[in-house]
Amino acid sequence: MSNLSGKAVEKLSKEEAVTELAALASEIAAHDVAYHQKDAPKISDAEYDLLRRRNELIEERFPKLAREDSPSKKVGAKPSSRFEKVQHAVAMLSLGNVFSDEEVSKFDESVKKFLNLSVDEPLGYVAEPKIDGLSASLRYENGKFVLGATRGDGQEGENITLNLLTVEDIPREIKNAPLVLEVRGEVYMSKADFAALNKKQEKEGGQIFANPRNAAAGSLRQLDPSITAARPLRFFAYAWGEISEPIAETQWDAIKCYAKWGFSTNPGTALCTSVAEIIAAYRKIERTRASLDYDIDGVVYKVNRLDYQDRLGFRSRTPRWATAHKFPAEQATTILEDIDIQVGRTGALTPVAKLQPVTVGGVVVSNATLHNEDEIIRKDVRIGDRVVVQRAGDVIPQVVRAIKQKRNKGARKYKFPQTCPVCDSHAVRDINPNTGKEDAVRRCTGGLICAAQAVERLKHFVSRQALDIDGLGAKQIEMFFADGLIKEPADIFTLEERERESLTPLKNRDGYGATSVRNLFAGINARRTPDLARLIFALGIRHTGETTARLLAQTFGSFKAFQEIAERAGKADQSAREELLAIDGIGGTVVDALGEFFNEQHNIEAVKRLMAEINPAEAVRIKSDSPVSGKTVVFTGKLELMTRDEAKVRASALGAKVSGSVSAKTDILIAGPGAGSKLTKAKDLGVVTLTEEEWLELIGD
């Protein structure tokens, strides 16, 4: 995106300075939008500071050329450093979604099935409006507000205590509270306050926000709390994190308790006893939506009994005891101007619609996904068509359909490329071995020779959820890759050493002074002991997202142990595969992907070179102190005190490996009434067998 010359400021001619200042103004404004309005910065704070600094230097040299819209004249500029990180004692997770009444019934059925309740048994739920704001966690110790944090990636947020102290709805002190209490809820801005803020910003030449949510986000992440104080934020309490003693037995009572302590709780919350009632509550809330003074984007259903919530627990990143019933997505129509192909980290060719900018639900959209080749054909979308664009929540906007009645004569069909637009290698659609069908995604076969894939892999490696290297963002990766300085992850860590011997040192480059080079190396060196889960995620193994990476880190504890098992799985070692499959949340696709990755010699070598440079921290293994951790257990026969699913989830949470069949590796067989061949086999093999009660006693239930 950069239109900057990169020439040293003292060498710029007047004409060049004019162009450069214009480019800087628009580039910095775009980053402000990405950061403040979308909360999705494209560059690191350090890079952003560099751009602003360059703008200042040019203005210092040519004061008369300073533009009206110069970034140096704007208020509310982005803070130049980051907030302190906070580790959440209890993860701040997300919610699953449903979009139809039918899916609501399915949700209710799955809850009842897990709890071993019959489908027609009444089960209490609380229906709460889903506030479209930002979640925050407020920690109280001895009744005093001591720490406030953003959600961040769910595990680690940012310390925004000072900013939260400016929110009136947040009590600084609460009476008769547990010793430790983390109140969680949503920070938001009312529609009226949002409109007034934008008016004021317009008058003062400040930043205009696209919607109340972005305004709340931009306000909450101000490094200067006096700016936040001038922005009217509010807070609804609806959940909790760490808590030293229970505050209630039901969700409903917990919310009442919050109200008693002085928190704002949502008045639209309803206590229900059946699916019909929660759907009725949804309709009622949907009817009030327009008249509310804050944005909501759905209704959250939560199982009312907290003991049930505990038993239901969590899937990898969402609770089983709650779901969000979203309002239908927002749509708009615009013109499809062109189609671009993006080559991803795994070589996937994704068609991206280039649109005439249009506002969809308060956000300006100019790019949207067209998913894949087949979708373009199925929807018969042509370049030049008027199309319907949809945006639901935080997901990438998508082209839903073409409006064929309005098709322009000049509209032309798009021919999907058969070769990679970056490296020119063949792009093919694999046959899925399980279904025998052609994959929807066309992939570049260039692998290691494809620059797009290599760059995307490196960008992924340094990204926020992965190694999160300060001063090394997507833009620097592109630059260093183009210069041949960084070709693979290990190169990042040898950069400093090579810099010392380099004939063209970084610090002589334009835009890179001695300080920024020092900061870059400090950023890199700070990651020489990376978190194990982040490292595994950073490798970019297919199907291995953040959650899976965390599970692997917690299960194996060290990179060495992880790599060893993955390599064995790659060599079709059945016991290694089973060990991986025994992890709750890891299935065959992940195991195949891990095996494939560690079966490739070039991957093994690249990992080896990387490991010579870094020393990952050992991860805390899941409940390694429980009496059953590391043990392989098998359940058989009918369980009477809980369902099979619940029993498995609990065993895994205690660090046990749950297997489906008895073998010499089995440590414990839990046999209910009606146990057959597995029990016989276990006895033959001398495996410890327990009844369900004995098992519960062993795990201390």
Active site (catalytic) residues: 130
Give residues 198-257 in contact with ligand IVH (rule: CB under 6 A): 238-239
- Residue 637 CB neighbour total at 10 angstroms: 18
**Least spacing, CB of residue 268 vs ligand IVH, in Å:** 10
The answer to whether residues 61 and 16 touch, using CB atoms and an 8 Å cutoff, is no
Taking the complex as a whole, the smallest distance from the CB of residue 322 to ligand IVH amounts, in Å, to: 6
Other Cβ atoms closer than 10 A to 50: 19
Cα separation, 441 vs 477, whole angstroms = 26
Binding mask 260-299 for ligand IVH (x = CB under 6 A): ----------------------------------------
By beta-carbon proximity to ligand IVH, the closer residue of 94 and 445 is 94
- Give 166 or 323: the residue with its C-beta nearer to ligand IVH: 323
Residue nearest to ligand IVH (CB): 135
**Helices 601-611, 559-570: crossing angle, 10 deg rounding:** 170
**Largest Cα–Cα distance of the chain, in whole Å?**
91
Q: Is 416 exposed, middle or buried (0-12, 13-18, 19+ CB in 10 A)?
A: middle
CB nearer to ligand IVH: pick between 43 and 324: 324
| Residue 70 vs residues 36, 55, 358, 497: alpha-carbon distances, Å | 17, 8, 26, 38
Minimum Å gap between C-beta 128 and ligand IVH is 4
- List binders of ligand IVH among 308-327 (CB under 6 A): 319, 322, 324
Of 628, 549, 630, nearest in space to 586 by CA: 549
Which residue among 94, 105, 494, 558 contacts ligand IVH (CB under 6 A)? 94
Place of tokens 């809820």: 185
- By CB under 6 A, which span of 25-33, 89-97, 169-177, 508-516 interacts with ligand IVH? 89-97
- Closest residue by Cα to residue 301 from 155, 585, 91, 101: 101
Integer angstrom CA distances of residue 128 from 107, 198, 217, 272, 293: 16, 29, 22, 11, 16
Contact 271, 252 (CB under 8 A): yes
CB atoms within 10 A of CB 514: 11
Q: How far is the CB of 649 from ligand IVH (least distance, A)?
A: 16
Contact 158, 84 (CB under 8 A): yes
Query: CB–CB of 152/220 below 8 Å?
Result: no
Residue 160 found at the interface with ligand IVH (CB under 6 A): no
126-145: contacts with ligand IVH (CB under 6 A) = 128, 130-131, 135
One character per residue 373-412, x = contact with ligand IVH (rule: CB under 6 A)? ----------------------------------------
Of 97 and 159, the one with the shorter C-beta distance to ligand IVH is 97
By beta-carbon proximity to ligand IVH, the closer residue of 547 and 689 is 547
Task: Name the residue among 292, 285, 354, 351 with its Cα closest to residue 324.
Answer: 285
| Alpha-carbon span 239 to 183, nearest angstrom | 6
Among 95, 360, 576, 581, binds ligand IVH (CB under 6 A): 95
Least distance in angstroms from the C-beta of 184 to ligand IVH: 7
Would you say 499 and 505 are in contact if contact means Cβ atoms under 8 Å apart?
yes
Nearer of residues 255 and 586 to ligand IVH, judged by Cβ: 255
Stretch that binds ligand IVH, among 87-95, 250-258, 531-539, 658-666 (CB under 6 A): 87-95
Shortest reach from residue 130's CB to ligand IVH, in Å: 4
> Which residues contribute to the site for ligand IVH (CB under 6 A)?
93-95, 128, 130-131, 135, 186, 238-239, 300, 319, 322, 324
